[in-house]
A and B are shown apart, each in its own frame.
Chain A
Amino acid sequence: AQKVTQAQTEISVVEKEDVTLDCVYETRDTTYYLFWYKQPPSGELVFLIRRNSFDEQNEISGRYSWNFQKSTSSFNFTITASQVVDSAVYFCALSLGGYNKLIFGAGTRLAVHP
């Protein structure tokens, strides 16, 4: 069975703190893709990053970084020096090699306080 677990329901930090959002996935497929989406208070879902199962290189984009470890089936997301605008619900998702069907985790609500 395929599954995505985001164990952290809510995280609250003060501005400028670093914060890591955890994502653990389950699949028996060898080819799969992992995604992170952001859902700000306005409600739309915004694509952040995509990673395929053959590429375990970590990625950094500005204050965002992602750590993909196949050995632990994890794809964690770190925000460095968090800002109030980072407040949102963040979803991790798994897509298998077929038609890009996304399996979402339950989401982590991040609140960044000034």
Chain B
Amino acid sequence: DAGVIQSPRHEVTEMGQEVTLRCKPISGHNSLFWYRQTMMRGLELLIYFNNNVPIDDSGMPEDRFSAKMPNASFSTLKIQPSEPRDSAVYFCASSWYKRGLAPSYNEQFFGPGTRLTVL
């Protein structure tokens, strides 16, 4: 079974350009998470979805960042306009979650990440 798929694996762009990162979660999973990893800030949760609905986007740095999940098998994270400080590795993760099912502790499966460099 395929794991979480992310594309592209590497992206180099110039400041001011729009960047779109893509994620395909594991089939059957209903929760999807976007994380950013930098040396300075470590692993930060940006946003997560449950059943395609954004639940918490408090980690999104600013309005330049947006995320969508149009269906259960696809999500995008967009940065417009990009800035050099956005350079990081962006991970997508998915898990299965059912509200009310206690204890709910399904682990998140991570994609390989997208290494973004903004010049």
Contacts and interface: CB of A to CB of B under 8 A. Distances in A.
Interface residues of B, number: 27
B112 A91 contact: no
Interface string B85-106: 0000101010101000011111
Contacts of A103: 45
A44 B113 contact: yes
B105 A52 contact: yes
A46 B48 CA distance: 19
A54 B42 CA distance: 28
Contacts of A54: 103
Contacts of B112: 43-44
A100 B42 contact: no
B38 to A, nearest CB: 11
Contact of B31 (A35, A44, A100, A104): A100
Most buried by A among B31, B110, B115: B110
B108 interface: yes
Contact of B107 (A35, A104, A107): A35
Nearest to B110: A45
Contact of A100 (B89, B108, B111): B108
A100 B105 contact: yes
Interface of A: 31, 33, 35, 37, 43-47, 50, 52, 54, 91, 95, 97, 99-107
